[in-house]
Structure 1
């Protein structure tokens, strides 16, 4: 099929790296891997940081202009077979795809759309109504987590739903995992206020009580909360922590291969692409049993998921893997098998093909 792809939150070619951008790119790769022709329908970033009516009105005008541009393009060159929108939510609705799909009788599909009733206030209620209409119109809404699926089911009972597990391109990882330092902890996360800063805070608190163990840590990430994050770790020995800053995504595997355990609390994680990459490199994970993290880490098999907010339990899980290298080695092997065999690009492409094959295309 010829597929028009759109990611209103962050287009695949956006200059700022993030898990969202990475998954958009992976979806394009998976669709192409399945034999489809994928074209980026629009690079318009329809993202509202705050519920500001003026910003919303301005973006609506831009979306209308993009819809008009695509209408002319499709009238001239022919319409696509399907419209595919990635990651719709209250701050990033799709104001282009639903209108065009309806006008041109093209099936409309979403991936990782979400709906939260607690956001139904003020302008967010209006943007969520747009998301809900898109979900209702969609021939298929592809969910990455059971949490998102349940949210859509509760809000829009008649929505057409399908499941696709979060995945990565495992070709970036070597055929055999490198033998990293088993006591080297690794974290890969942006430094921004909110959930990311809260996860860094918890991580710093957890490392203090296990200072008697011979761990070191590599931290990949940067952002506006850099000073706040580093201040949280000020009480720890400076020579134990390597601050690598922002690096190119292609360089992340080498950092992971040099480590032994991946540590990240995971507040607010939809699922966390970094968890998938860490396990592909053969690192067991220590995270919280929170948000969408259980969708990508198997507790007791590929890592440990601790109770939300329990710093002592989080520290204890890290200590256990540091002290029990045999157990860490077993988990490392299972983590790598899990990702390579169950969460690869090839597996995702096959699942996507299966889901899209059920949609009637004119």
Structure 2
């Protein structure tokens, strides 16, 4: 049976939005129609053993488009009789497209925006655009920033992530999470994401004293790990709980324990570092929560402003606090936004639709790739 070879550095047990994207699509393939080639990761053995499809781990912690990696990918494609390839993140592994001789799809996210603006990496994107059969984009914002760097020969199509609306739903019990983190019956603002400055957790921490002036018991619950962890622990005052990183499968009860979701992301480094989309906004909407998102990158496309949540200036502590206070003070309004958000996700943001879209793009991808 012909298979799709997925080549990626972004695969669980590593945590992150791209990892979730690649995994959720990969597991929807029939088990005998997909094989994953990825980098090594602590804890990968147990994770991979539970999967119904083969995962081949390279000894390297990061796959690069080297001759050795290209040779391993070609050998895997031959052994597993692969007839197509999907690069879970286009840069830089999409450079392998021309060396595999397979129809390929290369998926861009947010980090390729930086690549598109720097001369050397921009040339890499141009070569990926020439070699890959189809290059996908998440949002119109990312397409506008990345497409010129891909060059005139590139074929671009939209491929978005999805949400498992059965896993993330409003009728789950969040009591265990509230007990574990001693939240009681306090109003809870949840934020989930890697702890890096552009996600806006620092602004949320700074906004909480303002929020608590209006809603005295309000508590911010942050789920995630990353370089900003130490700083956030140092800045976190009363009403801020840092829960650490959690596997994706453990997240639904955290959403169920919350009243509002917020990740006021912001662009950094002159717009070179920004949010591609933000799966967490869609997960929160599926869980029936109103969403507060930053006005950076493609994040506003994951919220219907004023309907499923609000888009705010992610650099303004005052603006963030004002929206949080407004939502925490309005239980009927929160519920209405949550209902609309879940309906929107169920209609337009399913993982099954993402999988079907990728299969369609793989069929359409050109079998002629650059040398």
RMSD of aligned residue pairs (Cα, Å): 2.9
1:356 and 2:362 aligned: yes
Preserved CA contact (<8 Å) 1:182 1:325? no
Moved more, 168-177 or 311-320: 168-177
- Secondary structure of the residue that 2:27 maps to in structure 1? helix
Preserved CA contact (<8 Å) 1:266 1:290? yes
**1:25-74 deviation digits (Å, cap 9, x = unpaired):** 123134x16x98111134379xxxxxxxxxxxx98988211222344455
Taking CA–CA contacts closer than 8 Å with sequence separation of 6 or more, which of the two structures ends up with the larger relative contact order?
Answer: 2
Deviation at 1:88, TM superposition (A): 2.3
2: CA distance, partners of 1:149 / 1:344: 21
Query: What pairs with 1:266-281 in structure 2 (closer than 5 Å)?
Result: 266-267=265-266, 268-281=274-287
Deviation at 1:141, TM superposition (A): 1.2
Match of 1:112 among 89, 105, 108: 108
**1:202-223 deviation digits (Å, cap 9, x = unpaired):** 1122222222213122221233
Check 1:279–1:73 CA distance in 2 against 1; reply closer, same or farther (3 A cut): closer
Check 1:354–1:60 CA distance in 2 against 1; reply closer, same or farther (3 A cut): closer
**1:313-347 deviation digits (Å, cap 9, x = unpaired):** 22111111111111111001111112222111122
TM-score, normalised via structure 2 length: 0.78
Which residue number in structure 2 is paired with residue 265 of structure 1?
A: 264
Which residue number in structure 2 is paired with residue 88 of structure 1?
A: 90
Check 1:154–1:229 CA distance in 2 against 1; reply closer, same or farther (3 A cut): same
Preserved CA contact (<8 Å) 2:296 2:314? yes
Preserved CA contact (<8 Å) 2:211 2:321? yes
Preserved CA contact (<8 Å) 2:190 2:220? yes
Preserved CA contact (<8 Å) 2:172 2:253? no
Preserved CA contact (<8 Å) 2:116 2:146? no
Check 1:272–1:294 CA distance in 2 against 1; reply closer, same or farther (3 A cut): same
Which residue number in structure 1 is paired with residue 142 of structure 2?
A: 148
Query: What pairs with 1:205-224 in structure 2 (closer than 5 Å)?
Result: 205-212=206-213, 213=215, 214-224=217-227
Match of 2:27 among 12, 29, 34: 29
Which residue number in structure 2 is paired with residue 48 of structure 1?
A: none
2: CA distance, partners of 1:118 / 1:64: 24
2: CA distance, partners of 1:117 / 1:217: 34
Specify every segment of 5 or more residues in structure 2 that has no aligned partner in the other structure, as ranges. 42-60, 176-184, 267-273
- Secondary structure of the residue that 1:169 maps to in structure 2? coil
1:191 and 2:195 aligned: yes
Deviation at 1:147, TM superposition (A): 1.6
Deviation at 1:98, TM superposition (A): 2.6
TM-score, normalised via structure 1 length: 0.80
1:168 and 2:163 aligned: yes
Check 1:153–1:286 CA distance in 2 against 1; reply closer, same or farther (3 A cut): same
Which residue number in structure 2 is paired with residue 137 of structure 1?
A: 131
Which residue number in structure 2 is paired with residue 286 of structure 1?
A: 292
Preserved CA contact (<8 Å) 2:63 2:93? no
1:252 and 2:247 aligned: no
Check 1:324–1:72 CA distance in 2 against 1; reply closer, same or farther (3 A cut): closer
- Secondary structure of the residue that 2:190 maps to in structure 1? strand
Specify every segment of 5 or more residues in structure 1 that has no aligned partner in the other structure, as ranges. 46-57
2: CA distance, partners of 1:70 / 1:351: 24
